[in-house]
Amino acid sequence: MGTLQPIADALKLFSKEPTRPLTSSPMLFLTAPTMALTLALMMWTPMAMPTPMININFALLFILALSSMAVYSILWSGWASNSKYAMLGAMRAIAQTISYEVTLAIILLATILTAGNFTTQTLITTQEHMWTAVFTWPLMMMWFISTLAETNRAPFDLTEGESELVSGFNVEYAAGQFALFFLAEYSNILVMNTLTSLLFLNPGPMQPEMFTINLLTKTAMLT
């Protein structure tokens, strides 16, 4: 029924021989997709699910900083490809990402003021009796729209530009390196939706044993 199709596509990409343009910058060209996936996976470390892998005081700022650093992997991939279409796609993606990061940061700081702390565990404790979304629903709407733009989802998928740029900043990539960019993109989508659940839709401290199931359900619905 097509359930295993994404896995088959990933295996096909990783089994193909990687290629790169002869005029590209080898070091940056190979580093960019690895950096993109590494940053995307690092954003999971301070997430409370229900216990974070790394318990740091400024977890939310840490996630926002890593999300901002992903811009460099986009810039490197477009510049190192030595292709005008890849560079145009990279500039378009960077402009959109940087623009909406300002909105995300302001909304995040406003939510932190209600929680009183920068850790994801404090967000859960603050919402014991009422979801943050109940009294800050305009913020949640703006946050959700901004996350769509940040992760290049429709209707903000202008960075791909299929009609004029073919694929965007990753147009020169193939095989496993191309798959790394998509793994990073899907990981970023899940991170943002998980963070939305923690910020506004409390996964439920009244039932600690159901925390992970509630969190996964709400994240899946947002995705």
The rounded distance, in Å, linking the Cα atoms of 168 and 166 is: 6
State pLDDT tens for residues 114-123: 888 888 888 8
- Measured in whole angstroms, the distance separating CA 79 from the mean position of its chain's CA atoms is 22
Provide, rounded to the nearest whole percent, the portion of the chain with pLDDT above 90.
10
Residues 191, 43: Cα–Cα separation, whole Å: 7
Q: Where is pLDDT greater, at 74 or 165?
A: 74
Q: Which of 183, 171, 165, 189 is nearest to 29 (CA)?
A: 171
Residue 64 in tokens: 């926002």
pTM: 0.85
pLDDT digits 0-9 by tens, 140-163: 899 999 898 888 777 777 666 555
Contact between residue 66 and residue 41 where contact means Cβ atoms under 8 Å apart: no
Average pLDDT rounded to a whole number, residues 7-23:
78
Contacts of 35 (CB under 8 A, 6+ apart): 72, 73, 76
Cis link prior to 155 (omega < 30° from 0)?
yes
Helix (H, G, I), strand (E, B) or coil at 164: coil
Q: What is the structure's pLDDT at 121?
A: 81
> pLDDT tens-digit profile of 83-111?
888 888 888 888 888 888 888 899 988 88
Spans of all domains in the chain: 24-222
